[in-house]
Structure 1
Amino acid sequence: MSADAFVHPDEIRSMFSSAMSDMYRAEVPQYGTLLELVADVNQESLAANTELREGLERSDELGRLDVERHGAIRLGKPEELFTMRRLFAVMGMAPVGYYDLSVAGVPVHSTAFRPIDEDALRRNPFRVFTSLLRLELIEDESLRAAAEGILAKRDIFTADAIKLIDLAEKNGGLTRPEAEQFVTEALETFRWHSDATVSLETYQKMHDAHRLIADVVCFKGPHINHLTPRTLDIDAVQKGMPKRGISPKAVVEGPPTRNCPILLRQTSFKALEEQVRFVGDSGDKGASGTHTARFGEIEQRGIALTQKGRALYDTLLANVRHAVQINAGGSNARDYETELSERFAAFPDDYATLRTEDLAFFKYSPTKVGLDAAKNGEVSGTVNALVEQGYLRCDPIIYEDFLPVSAAGIFQSNLGDEAQKNYQEQSNQDVFEAALGTSVNDELALYAQTQQASIDDAFTALGLRKSVA
């Protein structure tokens, strides 16, 4: 069959993310309120900041803002992760990064499935932060064995979803009817089910070990637990949530408010308490109870940092967290925010310094002045010299990935402070990648490639030899 007959993976991804958003909005009404708040804040930000709007237009990112989402799921066994990779591949999404959350008291390790091509990101940067439960971190051997037994019996994918994944791999794509069916079948994996697969007693044992263990083990599948829109001003959203009847978490995770946003800032509203029916002694419906897992999250994305920039960021954040621990309920949130701002004064807050000190990644393009000068053979020099002469423009490369400490902070705030555990750091990327069936992509290498490609293209346009940033 001709490739022209297949629906492009980018379009399938857009179809799926739109269907996911509609489903989540129907399941979690507050999510709709959150989307309205974010849309209002973004509109106000663009109206008030001409430079911000022009920068987004110049980098062709304004169009993706309203559709941009990231979801999060938690898987229970290696086979689920392996098939999930295949499912996301149909949508043009690849695993990027390895995140060990055990260091922050959450018994999972994770990756982010997302598009990695620049054009694909512009079309729809849908991401799913995907975690795999680390059963070896359950100290109680009998409980660990029980969890393994429960997970072994479940299949989180429909039979037709598997058939369509096989078909896409065999034929190199899906036709329009196949793609539409694929979206419908794949969505079932992420749907909320109010019937647990275990008794209330078993659920409580898992819950007492860690709420996240109960969330992963005791249900039919990995219900999407949040679906995150992107805002241009997360502080305005944080302040605006209570006015719309939404209770935000105590502090915004990530770096402080800055003139030049870096990496990722996240906040959320508290997890919903949802009614659940547990299995009875005879296998029929038993006792009813509640479960908290799904919540609303918002993110603001800034410039991607180089290895040098990340080292500085990680050091400063570690110092903050060592100096001030957020109390249960967030009563000392202001102390934390003050400490965060004071410590991060050491991180340069202008794009020129971020660029010249090699702290962040930029995309370069020739200016009209540069192109005119090139016609007269007047252009030469290094990247920095060409920027200073006004021959090259540099724009921030947006960070498309995640931060393990921030992710754990969001998890903990919604699982409950009493759920925090102290696991010894046990990063195990090899085991994770074996389950995945491939290596994860290195996010820093992807940003470096994007930056270098932009330099190569700019130098070609200016009639210069290609250069290294």
Structure 2
Amino acid sequence: MCASQFIDSDEIRSRFSKAMSEMYRLEVPQYSTLLELVADINESTMADAGHGMQVSAPERNRLQVERHGAIRLGKASELADIRRIFAVMGMLPVGYYDLSSAGVPVHSTAFRPVADESLLRNPFRVFTSLLRLELIEDEALRERARTILARREIFSARALELVRQFESNGGLTSEEADEFVGEVRETFRWHREATVDADTYREFHDAHRLIADVVCFKGPHINHLTPRTLDIDAAQVEMPRRGIGAKELIEGPPSRRHPILLRQTSFKALEEAILFPNGAGHEDGTHTARFGEIEQRGMALTREGRELYDTLLAQVNARSDERYEVRLAQAFASFPDDLGALREQGLAFFRYEVKDAARLKDMADAGAGFDLERLIESGIVVAQPVTYEDFLPVSAAGIFQSNLGESGRTHGKGNSARDAFEASLGAPVLDEMELYERASRESLEQVRSAFETKVAS
């Protein structure tokens, strides 16, 4: 088949993201309310000249479609297959997250696009966790979980056939892509029928709610979809006004003039009716897993910036003399909140772009050497913060804990097993820092090349 008949992976990802959003809107009606709330806040934020929010047309388009979801898998083969499925959509595994430090028996990665043009087209991400059976302390319960998971197949035969076809042929036609989207969407659909009886469910639930969520159902139902807001503090205030029970605290750094990394909040998980099989037919029960989340993305921090962030966060967690949000604000008062200072101190990543080619040529003609700071000061080149595209382990654990009905902020030693995770995945996870460094470096090289071209001409 001719490659020109194939559609690109960005388009497949966009179709899948739209299909997932439509499905979740039907399954969890409060998600529709969440989307409306976020759209209203984003519009008012962009319209408020005093807010200082400058959003380009491409970024505005991205904002309208941006979502991230989350799923939880039970066995290595599921993780390996989901990697191949997301590859069809142009999504690669970025980052390794050990959530065991918060008492959550999973480790995770985020599947997402990595190229700038793909992120602008549709930055759909799926935070994907794998249950760590070795962290189930009860040996008999651990083996029962392994046996139950071994019996299930979460992907349809046709979905995997289309993946093989993509891998063999180098792409899918538009019709094949639509079929692929439909088949894969079924994997993430909610099924109210448990695969185990009520007693077995309760045993897993008592060991850890997340274990029950992973082991006791047909597949990894999507447990949330997350739109992106430009003002998460306004969203937190507005949620109760629209009948949405927000979690108590926003996860991540405090509110700032120039946001950094990622801030997240959510509405509390829904208690949903389920059916347990028994000899007579079924038994009624409930399960709590799915919720709605909102995120605000700031700028990506360099390795030095992340080190400072982690140091300040550790100071916050070591104290208990004030409310958490007060301690957070006090600690982060020492983190620069000025774009010039962040760039000059090497704390955040920036992307560089020529804004005035004529003046760039004039400077080159004058015989001046390449001086990035002078070009920025004169307005010939602009430095824009690189958006943080990934997740924070502590914040992810905080969202998990809140929606599993756990209280407090747990920070333990952890039990990282990256090598085992990558072996299950069948590939290494990408280093998010290297991706940000490359994006910043390549943009600077383009500016330098443009300057040198002017000199040569």
User: Shorter-normalised TM-score: what interval?
Assistant: over 0.9
Give the C-alpha shift of residue 391 in structure 1: 3.0
Name the residue aligned to 1:47.
47
Q: Deviations over 1:340-398 (max 9, x none)?
A: 10000010001101000000000001231642434524542443343234332100100
Name the residue aligned to 1:231.
229
Matched, 1:361 2:349: yes
Name the residue aligned to 1:275.
273
Cα distance change on mapping 1:178 and 1:52 into 2, 3 Å: farther
Amino acid at match of 2:417: N
Amino acid at match of 1:302: G
Name the residue aligned to 1:31.
31
Find the aligned partners of 2:33 and 2:263 in 1 and give their Cα distance. 20
Amino acid at match of 1:319: Q
Contact 2:305-2:347 at 8 Å conserved across structures: yes
Matched, 1:434 2:423: yes
Find the aligned partners of 1:4 and 1:324 in 2 and give their Cα distance. 61
Name the residue aligned to 1:198.
196
Secondary structure of 1:277's counterpart equals strand
Name the residue aligned to 1:317.
313
* Among candidates 150, 153, 156, match of residue 154 of structure 2: 156
Give the C-alpha shift of residue 318 in structure 1: 1.7
Name the residue aligned to 2:98.
100
Name the residue aligned to 1:217.
215
Contact 2:94-2:110 at 8 Å conserved across structures: yes
Secondary structure of 2:251's counterpart equals coil
Cα distance change on mapping 1:465 and 1:400 into 2, 3 Å: farther
* Among candidates 385, 388, 402, match of residue 377 of structure 2: 388
Name the residue aligned to 1:208.
206
Amino acid at match of 1:292: T
Find the aligned partners of 2:399 and 2:343 in 1 and give their Cα distance. 30
Secondary structure of 2:64's counterpart equals coil
Find the aligned partners of 1:132 and 1:40 in 2 and give their Cα distance. 35
Name the residue aligned to 1:425.
414
Cα distance change on mapping 1:37 and 1:342 into 2, 3 Å: same
RMSD (Å) for aligned C-alpha atoms: 1.9
Find the aligned partners of 1:177 and 1:237 in 2 and give their Cα distance. 39
Contact 1:370-1:392 at 8 Å conserved across structures: no
Of 312-321 and 94-103, more deviation after overlay is shown by 312-321
Amino acid at match of 1:309: G
Name the residue aligned to 2:326.
338
Contact 1:96-1:113 at 8 Å conserved across structures: yes
Of 264-273 and 422-431, more deviation after overlay is shown by 422-431
Find the aligned partners of 1:251 and 1:57 in 2 and give their Cα distance. 30
Contact 1:380-1:464 at 8 Å conserved across structures: no
Find the aligned partners of 1:454 and 1:129 in 2 and give their Cα distance. 28
Find the aligned partners of 1:211 and 1:141 in 2 and give their Cα distance. 17
Find the aligned partners of 1:70 and 1:230 in 2 and give their Cα distance. 9
Secondary structure of 2:60's counterpart equals coil
Give the C-alpha shift of residue 50 in structure 1: 7.2
Unaligned runs of 5+ in 1: 326-333
Name the residue aligned to 1:57.
56
* Among candidates 452, 456, 459, match of residue 445 of structure 2: 456
Matched, 1:301 2:290: no
Cα distance change on mapping 1:227 and 1:197 into 2, 3 Å: same
Secondary structure of 2:220's counterpart equals coil
Contact 2:370-2:451 at 8 Å conserved across structures: no
Find the aligned partners of 1:423 and 1:133 in 2 and give their Cα distance. 18
Find the aligned partners of 2:323 and 2:49 in 1 and give their Cα distance. 30
Amino acid at match of 2:283: A
Find the aligned partners of 2:256 and 2:290 in 1 and give their Cα distance. 30
Name the residue aligned to 1:416.
405
Give the C-alpha shift of residue 215 in structure 1: 0.4
Amino acid at match of 2:328: L
Give the C-alpha shift of residue 419 in structure 1: 9.9
Contact 1:106-1:421 at 8 Å conserved across structures: no
Unaligned runs of 5+ in 2: none
Find the aligned partners of 2:205 and 2:338 in 1 and give their Cα distance. 46
Secondary structure of 1:266's counterpart equals strand
Find the aligned partners of 1:367 and 1:465 in 2 and give their Cα distance. 14
Name the residue aligned to 1:145.
143
Amino acid at match of 1:13: R
TM-score, with length taken from structure 2: 0.96
Contact 2:365-2:454 at 8 Å conserved across structures: no
Find the aligned partners of 2:443 and 2:76 in 1 and give their Cα distance. 38
Amino acid at match of 2:48: A
Cα distance change on mapping 1:99 and 1:465 into 2, 3 Å: farther
Find the aligned partners of 1:201 and 1:418 in 2 and give their Cα distance. 25
Q: Deviations over 1:404-446 (max 9, x none)?
A: 0000000000101269888641111100000000001100000
Give the C-alpha shift of residue 20 in structure 1: 0.1
Q: Deviations over 1:151-173 (max 9, x none)?
A: 00000001110111111111001
Secondary structure of 1:417's counterpart equals coil
Give the C-alpha shift of residue 186 in structure 1: 0.4
Name the residue aligned to 2:285.
289
Cα distance change on mapping 1:375 and 1:307 into 2, 3 Å: closer
Find the aligned partners of 1:346 and 1:96 in 2 and give their Cα distance. 30
Secondary structure of 2:59's counterpart equals coil
Contact 2:297-2:387 at 8 Å conserved across structures: yes
Matched, 1:112 2:100: no
Contact 1:79-1:435 at 8 Å conserved across structures: yes
Name the residue aligned to 2:436.
447
Q: Deviations over 1:194-251 (max 9, x none)?
A: 0000011011010011100000000000000000000000000000000000010001
Contact 1:103-1:423 at 8 Å conserved across structures: yes
Q: How many residues align?
A: 454
Name the residue aligned to 2:22.
22
Give the C-alpha shift of residue 4 in structure 1: 1.0
Find the aligned partners of 2:53 and 2:83 in 1 and give their Cα distance. 35
Give the C-alpha shift of residue 286 in structure 1: 2.5
Cα distance change on mapping 1:448 and 1:51 into 2, 3 Å: farther
Name the residue aligned to 1:245.
243
TM-score, with length taken from structure 1: 0.93
Contact 1:374-1:463 at 8 Å conserved across structures: no
Cα distance change on mapping 1:371 and 1:377 into 2, 3 Å: same
Name the residue aligned to 1:170.
168
